[in-house]
Amino acid sequence: MEYFTLIVSAIFINNVLLMRYLGLCPFLGVSKKMETAIGMAFAVIFVLSMASFITFGVFKLLAIAKIEYIRTLAFILVIASLVQFVEMFLKKVIPALYKALGIFLPLITTNCAVLGVCIININEKFTLVEALVFSVASAAGFGLALILFAGIREKFELARVPKPLQGTGIGLITAGLISLSFFAFMGMI
């Protein structure tokens, strides 16, 4: 039950993208087409679940050595090398998956959702299982918002948007409206 609450809250109520404002650059960058949005969503789920597992261990090590203050530096290095490693591993072992996720993987290093969720895991003092559940659910929430947004954005091709708002402007306003609709989930828990 406790995990269920955590999952629902991470996906709908505290959606990482729409409520916590993490990962906006890829959100606006890759959401022009449905296919790329789906690819990005799965790449984030994949990397975030691994990253939260590893950064959890790394933080324990830092705590033992009493150098928690270099947390940010350590985490970003872990994430960057993890992404690189995953890319090489997939290329060698599962080429089909590499082809599907390939170009999105390098972009994930600078996706603040990944680093952000890893830091939230530590700040909220989650246990390892809670951290993993929270990370996967957050990534799923990110994917959900991204795919919803891409679906709407594809329709903009046909719409007559006022000139000054074309591109990013209307994108942000749409994101605001999706975020507003997610507010309705607030009463759920």
**Cβ at position 148, least distance to other proteins in Å:** 14
- Please choose, out of 2-10, 19-27, 96-104, 132-140, the segment that lies near other proteins by the rule CB under 8 A: 19-27
Smallest separation (angstroms) from other proteins to the CB of 38: 22
Length of the chain counted residue by residue: 189
Does residue number 125 form part of the binding site for other proteins (CB under 8 A)?
no
Number of chain residues interacting with other proteins (CB under 8 A): 43
Interface pick for other proteins out of 151, 169, 188, 189 (rule CB under 8 A): 169
What's the burial of 141, exposed, middle or buried (CB within 10 Å: 0-12/13-18/19+)? buried
Tell me how far, at minimum, the Cβ of 1 lies from other proteins, in Å: 27
Confirm if 15 and 185 have CB atoms less than 8 A apart.
no
Nearer to other proteins, 115 or 132 (CB): 115
Q: Which of 63, 94, 165, 189 binds other proteins (CB under 8 A)?
A: 165
Beta carbons within 8 Å of 68's beta carbon, 6+ residues apart: 59, 62
Question: How many CB atoms are located within 10 Å of the residue 9 CB?
Answer: 19
Binding mask 68-97 for other proteins (x = CB under 8 A): -xxxxx-xxx--x-----------------
129 binds other proteins (CB under 8 A): no
The phi and psi torsions of 98 (rounded to 5 degrees) equal -60, -40
Counting contacts by CB under 8 A, is residue 34 touching other proteins?
Answer: no
Asked whether position 188 contacts other proteins by CB under 8 A, the answer is no
Name the minimum Å distance from CB 156 to other proteins: 13
Dihedral sign, Cα of residue 103, residue 176, residue 14, residue 22? positive
Residues 6+ apart with CB under 8 A from 23: 16, 17, 44, 111, 112, 113, 114, 116, 142
